[in-house]
């Protein structure tokens, strides 16, 4: 007997992502949305683990949960009416939002249907040896960042530096 262990785990985490994303979108309370987002991020990290991308999974948790989400909740708390449960998450601009989201959905579905999934990695999906342990990715990512993708990497870091300086400038008292 061979339990489809990874399939079960995949569906558990997929269900977690979808349900917590739904909580995030439909909740009227910003803090609940943030908690929904937390579990969605966690589920995505779990999917990365199932795909063998260990470094990306951990980076996902560190950056999105440890960085972005903490700052998000912190920002919510610094805004008005923190001690009451009044922080609402209402829907605004419904018609343009539906247009934009519909467009994005259309493009995503097109990409989903037109991508040759098995051949994307240059291999046929049946030929991939699923029982082989996946190689650690950290070293390869580091090497690629310092060689092939050095220019994009540096451009992104300049962008982040710009954002940092901009934030410091806005936060200045005598600006």
Partner 1 sequence: MPAFISFLTITEFTIFGLPEDISNLIFMVLGAAIFCGVSAVMALLGVYLERKISAKMQDRLGPMEVGSHGILQTLADAVKLLLKEDIVPAAADKTLHFIAPVMIFAATLAAFAVLQFSEGIVFSDLNVGIFYIIAISSFVVIAIILAGWSSNNKWSLLGGMRAAAQIVSFEIPASLAVMVVVMSVGSLNLGDIIDAQEGSMFSWMIFRFFPFNFIAFIVFFVASLAELNRAPFDMPEAESEIVAGFATEYSGFKWSCFFLAEYANMFLVSVVITTLFLGGWRSPFGDFLNSQPFQLFWLLSKAFVIIFIQMWLRWTLPRVRVDQLMYTSWKVLTPFAFVAMIGVGLLMIL
By the rule CB under 8 A, 83 interacts with partner 1: yes
Please work out the total of residues on this chain that contact partner 1, with binding judged by CB under 8 A. 42
Phi-psi region of 122 (alpha: psi -120 to 50; beta: other; left: phi over 0): left
* Least distance from partner 1 to the Cβ atom of residue 106, Å: 30
The residue among 72, 53, 51, 52 whose CA lies nearest residue 63 is 72
The residue among 100, 45, 37 whose CA lies nearest residue 72 is 37
Give the separation between CA 140 and CA 5, rounded to whole angstroms. Answer: 28
By the rule CB under 8 A, 1 interacts with partner 1: yes
Q: Which of 66, 152, 162, 166 binds partner 1 (CB under 8 A)?
A: 66
* Least distance from partner 1 to the Cβ atom of residue 104, Å: 28
By the rule CB under 8 A, 77 interacts with partner 1: yes
Q: Across the chain, how many H-helices and E-strands are there? A: 7, 0
Q: Are 24 and 36 in contact (CB under 8 A)?
A: yes
Q: Are 75 and 88 in contact (CB under 8 A)?
A: no
Considering only residues 15 to 54 of the shown chain, the ones binding partner 1 according to CB under 8 A are 31-32, 35, 38, 49-52, 54
Considering only residues 120 to 149 of the shown chain, the ones binding partner 1 according to CB under 8 A are 130-134, 136, 138
By the rule CB under 8 A, 65 interacts with partner 1: yes
* Helix (H/G/I), strand (E/B), else coil: 106: helix
Q: Which residues bind partner 1 (CB under 8 A)?
A: 1-3, 5-7, 9-10, 31-32, 35, 38, 49-52, 54-55, 58-59, 61-62, 65-67, 69-71, 73-74, 77-78, 82-83, 85, 130-134, 136, 138
């Amino acid at each position: 007997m061979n339990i489809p262990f990874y399939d079960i785990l995949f569906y558990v985490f997929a269900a977690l992502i979808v349900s917590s994303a739904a909580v995030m979108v439909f909740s009227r309370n910003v803090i609940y949305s943030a908690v929904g987002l937390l579990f969605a991020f966690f589920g995505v990290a779990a999917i990365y683990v199932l795909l063998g991308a260990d470094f990306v999974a951990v980076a996902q948790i560190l950056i999105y949960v440890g960085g972005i989400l903490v700052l998000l909740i912190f920002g919510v708390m610094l805004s008005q009416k923190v001690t009451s449960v009044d922080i609402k998450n209402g829907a605004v601009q419904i018609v343009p939002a539906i247009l934009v989201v519909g467009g994005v959905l259309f493009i995503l579905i097109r990409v989903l249907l037109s991508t040759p999934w098995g051949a994307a990695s240059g291999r046929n999906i049946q030929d991939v040896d699923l029982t082989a342990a996946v190689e650690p990715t950290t070293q390869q990512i580091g090497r690629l960042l310092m060689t092939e993708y050095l220019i994009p990497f540096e451009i992104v870091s300049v962008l982040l530096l710009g954002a940092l300086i901009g934030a410091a400038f806005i936060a200045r008292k005598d600006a």
